[in-house]
Structure 1
Amino acid sequence: MIKLYGISWDDPRGYDSIVYISERYSEKYKDIHIQWDKRSLYDFTVYPPDKLAKYYDLVVVDYPSVGDIAESNNYIPIDEILSKKDLEFIQRISVGKTYESYLYNGHLWALPIDAATQVSAYREDIFKEFNLKIPKTWKQVIKLKCKVGMPLSPIHAHSSFITMCVNYFLDPFFIRLDQYNLKKIYTILDIMKNISDKCGDLCLKSDPIKLLDYMAEENEICYIPLTYGYYNYSRDKYRKNVINYINIPSFTEIPYGSTLGGAGLAVSIKNKYIEETIEFIKWFYDFNTQKMYWKHYGQPADIRIWIDEEANKITRNSYINTIYTISLSYVRPNFPGFIKFHEESGKVLVNFLTGKISKDETIKDLLNLNTSCCARK
């Protein structure tokens, strides 16, 4: 029997879905078995991909790591193993810029198997109880008469900062600032501080999964303006209460610039069964397989799922309600070392949110990080 080893992240969306699909594949092709391990959402983002390639044939990765993946020489470019026809098909069905996000230095380093971007989450039952309207602008977010939260652990704080900057037509990796753009950053930091102060340690210590779990189990947080969408929370009986999703608030009423997330499937050079891997990939992108993947808690990058009637009915239109946001999303850089820079920038923002540094000190620290890291890229 051929045995492949893979690793994903610890959430039904990332792990249960791919395990279920792999088991169905093994039933179809009884001489092939794919065994999956899982790691935390944090490790999914920051753990060095070159180390994973030593132990796994298939690695589910975050796209900002593809520069590190490419330079490690431990992964096979996908365009070297899949045909041009197959790649063109996958690119056509990939929602937004999910396919392009895995390109680096002329090669495709992973396949978009999962799609997410920062969207807004809300408890419809609480909104109805208090006769609230869903915010479309950041001014409306601040004035909302219920508790607002946002995942503000370092990387997610920086992701939200990026989203707000891009939406405000401001380069999030600024290396110089005039007074006009400086005022924009002051506004962004004020909004983030307002939300952080009201939410407290819960938000400062939360990633999207932790905060969404809290939102679904407790009747406290009514609205999250920016969080990576986990649409399983919109399904009945997934958690105690249902969470709905909608386009992000904006400075212009256009949900532009949301920081793209999602996950891709990379192939390590350790993998000795490339032909079998190719056949699995082709089977995975069949629409019937994609539908099965979604039914078992996956969140496909396949636009056919995002517009699918059943998928939207079961998730209270989460996909179609946010397709505008993901279509206008922003792709983070993926140069080698970006992940470390991403986290360090987030730590600066957390220092500001916790009152350790002023707005001006925050901007200075971010500018220094941008100058030392991004100006050379």
Structure 2
Amino acid sequence: MTGSYRGLTWDHPRGTVALRAAVDEPAAPVVDLIWDAQPLEGFESASVAENAAAYDLLVLDHPHLGEALRTEALRPLDELFTAAEVEGWRARAVGPSFASYELDGRAWALPLDAATQVSALADPGIEAPTTWAEALELASDVDTVLPLTGPHLFLTLCSIAVGEGVEPGAGPTFLPEPAVADAMAVLERFVPGAHATETHNPITVLEDMARQGGPVYCPHVYGYVTYSRPAIGRRPVRFVDAPAGTSGRRGSVLGGTGIAVSRRCEPDAALLDHLRWLMDDRTQRTFIPRRDGQPSVVAAWEDDEVDAAALGFYSRTRRTVEDAWVRPRHDGAIAFQSAAADRVRAALLGHSDPARLSRELDELHHRHRPDPAIQERP
């Protein structure tokens, strides 16, 4: 008799359909598992420690790892799987998807889903910009939108800096004033004061783009393969690589999700086999993408049938995933991300002072990083 388990994922078809369907899939190892879902905003900012106290499995974002390590909320993968299995998942993951869940010398989650910020177009007649200069030119001619809520303006600011060859947090300041000034100059063109009250997260942005008469261009939004396919009453959204900076790098901040096992969970062989099945190359190439999922393994991203079914989503955004920057994962990273996003909004919609914003981001970065003992490295 297998154990009974409860998991928490995020409330979108990409986060729920495949996981719930796998529980009833005849080809999958049998497990007694129920998946609950939380809104995107909870997924981005809710306490991983509190969720881990209530659930056996968590679908989480990698910036939560610092809190998870401090509170001992999760079981490391090497307690559950062999070294060969862990190394295999690391080798088969697209871009830094697996590496983003490695912290303090151990891996803490299985990268079920891979995503990063890319560009989106809802008009097949529009040529996709390849640089931010081209993006600004297009935005002056067509109805353009950008995610404004949650962490997203801050993440796009970081992405523009990454494209210019500046790694956030790698120097004496989190982002030097010249990098902030350059990024603000771009963002101010997309975020005029008239739109200050809009409440767009990536899902609502893509919903708007998918409806007839909605915006036709978004230069920077997390890619959702579910919107790349046509549906009744909805037009398909074409996803392409994010704009490149002068460094040639496609500036973007890694997203995606990982499945972690909470410390409260005592997984039996059936649950571990079920997780192995979800991460299997065949499952990731067939079962996951056929049920609104967005696979994380290279084999799926390079599969011609998977790519064709998604109207080129994978081949047109692969370079950006490979180039993506991994966010801070220290304890306090979520609080830093939220506070930094508030400062970026205040700058773009108010004081427009790059020097002030650079100082504020640096102060926040130091304030929300209390424990240097946990190293942000594999």
Give the alignment's TM-score, normalised by structure 2. 0.91
Paired residue type of 2:357: T
Corresponding residue number in structure 2 for 1:338:
333
Relative to structure 1, is the Cα distance of residues 24 and 160 closer, same or farther in structure 2, using a 3 angstrom cutoff?
A: same
Deviation at 1:105, TM superposition (A): 0.7
Contact 2:163 2:244 in 1 (8 A): yes
Partner secondary structure for residue 4 of structure 2: strand
Partner secondary structure for residue 147 of structure 1: coil
Contact 1:111 1:266 in 2 (8 A): yes
Corresponding residue number in structure 2 for 1:264:
258
Corresponding residue number in structure 2 for 1:194:
189
Deviation at 1:361, TM superposition (A): 2.8
CA–CA separation in structure 2 for the residues paired with 1:52 and 1:17 = 21
CA–CA separation in structure 1 for the residues paired with 2:122 and 2:143 = 11
Aligned to 2:291, which of 292, 296, 310?
296
Superposition pairs for residues 160-179 of structure 1, below 5 Å?
160-173=156-169, 175-176=172-173
Deviation at 1:68, TM superposition (A): 1.0
Quick check: 1:73 aligned with 2:76?
Answer: no
Superposition pairs for residues 355-374 of structure 1, below 5 Å?
355-356=350-351, 358-373=353-368
Corresponding residue number in structure 2 for 1:20:
21
Contact 2:168 2:174 in 1 (8 A): no
Deviation at 1:89, TM superposition (A): 1.5
Instruction: Give the number of aligned pairs.
Output: 367
Corresponding residue number in structure 1 for 2:128:
134
Residues 359-368 or 36-45, more deviating: 359-368
Paired residue type of 1:221: P
Paired residue type of 2:219: P
Deviation at 1:285, TM superposition (A): 2.2
CA–CA separation in structure 2 for the residues paired with 1:177 and 1:57 = 35
Aligned to 2:309, which of 299, 308, 314?
314
The one-character-per-residue Cα deviations of 1:226-284 (angstroms, maximum 9, x if unpaired) are 11110110112176110011111122273434100000000012212332221112222
Root mean square deviation, CA, Å: 2.2
CA–CA separation in structure 2 for the residues paired with 1:316 and 1:87 = 32
CA–CA separation in structure 1 for the residues paired with 2:19 and 2:206 = 22
Superposition pairs for residues 210-359 of structure 1, below 5 Å?
210-237=204-231, 240-252=234-246, 254-290=248-284, 291-356=286-351, 358-359=353-354
CA–CA separation in structure 1 for the residues paired with 2:173 and 2:247 = 27
Partner secondary structure for residue 16 of structure 2: helix
Corresponding residue number in structure 2 for 1:182:
177
Corresponding residue number in structure 2 for 1:114:
113
Paired residue type of 2:88: F
Paired residue type of 1:157: L
Deviation at 1:287, TM superposition (A): 2.8
Give the alignment's TM-score, normalised by structure 1. 0.91
Contact 2:164 2:249 in 1 (8 A): no
Contact 2:243 2:251 in 1 (8 A): no
Partner secondary structure for residue 183 of structure 2: helix
Corresponding residue number in structure 2 for 1:150:
146
Partner secondary structure for residue 192 of structure 2: helix
Relative to structure 1, is the Cα distance of residues 238 and 3 closer, same or farther in structure 2, using a 3 angstrom cutoff?
A: farther
CA–CA separation in structure 2 for the residues paired with 1:177 and 1:77 = 29
Paired residue type of 2:336: F
Deviation at 1:143, TM superposition (A): 1.2
CA–CA separation in structure 1 for the residues paired with 2:63 and 2:201 = 17
Residues 270-279 or 338-347, more deviating: 270-279
CA–CA separation in structure 2 for the residues paired with 1:255 and 1:297 = 29
Contact 2:241 2:250 in 1 (8 A): no
Identity of aligned residues (%): 26
CA–CA separation in structure 2 for the residues paired with 1:258 and 1:199 = 26
Paired residue type of 1:190: A
CA–CA separation in structure 2 for the residues paired with 1:234 and 1:198 = 30
Paired residue type of 1:184: A
| Unmatched segments (≥5 aa) in structure 1 | none
Contact 1:231 1:299 in 2 (8 A): yes
CA–CA separation in structure 1 for the residues paired with 2:42 and 2:337 = 14
Contact 1:21 1:289 in 2 (8 A): no
Greater fraction of residues in helix: 1
Contact 1:147 1:198 in 2 (8 A): no
Partner secondary structure for residue 169 of structure 1: coil
Corresponding residue number in structure 2 for 1:55:
54
Contact 1:46 1:339 in 2 (8 A): yes
Paired residue type of 1:260: L
